[in-house]
Structure 1
């Protein structure tokens, strides 16, 4: 039964990879100077596709070997009913993978330029090497989003403001008490480019919980916004993602991740991911850890 479940998961994962890859082909088969946010978000009439077409969103990767320096073996939220009473002997080595895609559900809004997107991202932390616990999925996170995006045509020299928008974001781990974690956000975003550099700024506001709170003070740990810096050249992609609570004192917390992908063949790339901070997953929202993973990626930010 376990093998059938694992096989089903793998088939589903690579099926989604194939769908997204069909869209990604158009991006990598052209010169990089003509690529970027225009194609990924269909910002111009030349790059606009039909609605309800699957396209890439966040990176899609598999890290078969990921070292976690301090696994969260007994998760504890600041909410008393969300404190786990059971200690689990997690291994420091696990597998992590992420799938992510989006589809445009409406276009030509507001002066014929704005688009409405539906996106979905799932991440999995899998204790595949932990035979003592029957190789469980330590954490699964689900993140559906509704995003409105509007193209911009502003520039200061070579620095270009490409797009702006807002969205509604839900993130949860789909678990019951005491390990249930979820929250809802109103997000804003701004996308910019400078030659081979791409910049994202994405602040958010959390919606107030009306029936209890799985993760009190989550924005004090995970942060109130994130910034992405992406550099692409000769097939290499370097990214720096930083989340912060915007407190510039001893109470400053957040999360920082650096990734590097190196081309192997066609779209297959070697992938390195190094991160430190709070909120690597929902169950770890108030848990600080360092992670180092190596694997492969088929889709990057750009």
Structure 2
């Protein structure tokens, strides 16, 4: 059996089993759903010390992600196309993401603040593209240093749970003319109520000199802030992430919707829909709509 057929078979079996399992695995003790305090060790009872590896952002595999407009001629704003001829790319590829964090310092600010280190890696893989020898179309690396402080007050009917900021670097590790990278200071505020969690994240890009800027105007396309709303019930999870450039002239951004359904224990099926700019760094100024089907290993 060929490599692409193996992936297709894996996807069909997983997706079909997941739909069947929705009616079979609904027990609360089979679903690990964490509160903000448990995820970020905010309350004294949830603190686990330093240098323990924890999940961070979503950890998933999409054996099939389809796009309506594959970026065959990537180019930065104001630059020539990176290639003389369009790349022979497939509109369906594999996407996966891994993400971890660990606490470096605990209780450093008034006995409550923490410093975390996070790392996220996302891949777009042309695994079905035999003609081009199945290359990785894009790999994005995102290390960050996160300062977090617990909160406990009512805000707009929600319980405010934490705030802080992070020093964030994101790049694709590629040479010119397809090199992409930027640095940000990302502020965050999170709150929850019953089955809802809300994250608000505005950021400031650290200026890059024009001659060294691989992706000019990236914040005009990917955005300057994002809001994430998560709703969970009976092992099912709805996740809506919205990014916006906060510009009154040419307003850009994106919307990503994720639906997870229980398969067994902590394994979940995942449907992901994205529309807008910046699905990854090479596509930062490229508009597209994607639909992906796969599995998720960690609660969002």
TM-score by length of 2: 0.87
Equivalent position SS for 2:83:
coil
Tell me, yes or no, if the aligned pair for 1:94 and 1:129 is still in contact at 8 Å.
yes
Q: Distance in 2 between matches of 1:137 and 1:47?
A: 39
Residue 6 of structure 1 corresponds to none
Equivalent position SS for 1:112:
coil
TM-score by length of 1: 0.87
1:78-227 superposed matches below 5 A: 78-80=77-79, 83-156=82-155, 159-210=158-209, 212-227=212-227
Tell me, yes or no, if the aligned pair for 1:144 and 1:170 is still in contact at 8 Å.
yes
Which stretches in structure 2 are left out of the alignment for 5+ residues?
4-27
Equivalent position SS for 1:39:
helix
Q: Distance in 1 between matches of 2:120 and 2:287?
A: 23
Aligned residues: 273
Moved >6 Å (runs of 4+): none
Equivalent position SS for 1:220:
helix
Equivalent position SS for 1:109:
coil
Which stretches in structure 1 are left out of the alignment for 5+ residues?
4-27
> In the TM superposition, what is the alpha-carbon distance from 1:252 to its structure 2 partner?
1.0
Equivalent position SS for 1:283:
helix
Residue 280 of structure 2 corresponds to 281
Structure-2 change in CA distance of 1:243 and 1:297 (3 Å): same
Structure-2 change in CA distance of 1:178 and 1:195 (3 Å): same
Q: Relative contact order (alpha carbons < 8 A, sep ≥ 6): 1 or 2 greater?
A: 2
> In the TM superposition, what is the alpha-carbon distance from 1:82 to its structure 2 partner?
7.2
Q: Distance in 2 between matches of 1:90 and 1:109?
A: 49
> In the TM superposition, what is the alpha-carbon distance from 1:159 to its structure 2 partner?
1.4
Tell me, yes or no, if the aligned pair for 1:201 and 1:227 is still in contact at 8 Å.
yes
Equivalent position SS for 1:59:
coil
Cα RMSD (Å): 1.8
Tell me, yes or no, if the aligned pair for 1:54 and 1:103 is still in contact at 8 Å.
yes
Once the two structures are superposed, residues 75-132 of structure 1 have per-residue CA deviations (whole angstroms, 9 ceiling, x without a partner) of 0101537733342110011000000010000011111000000000000000000011
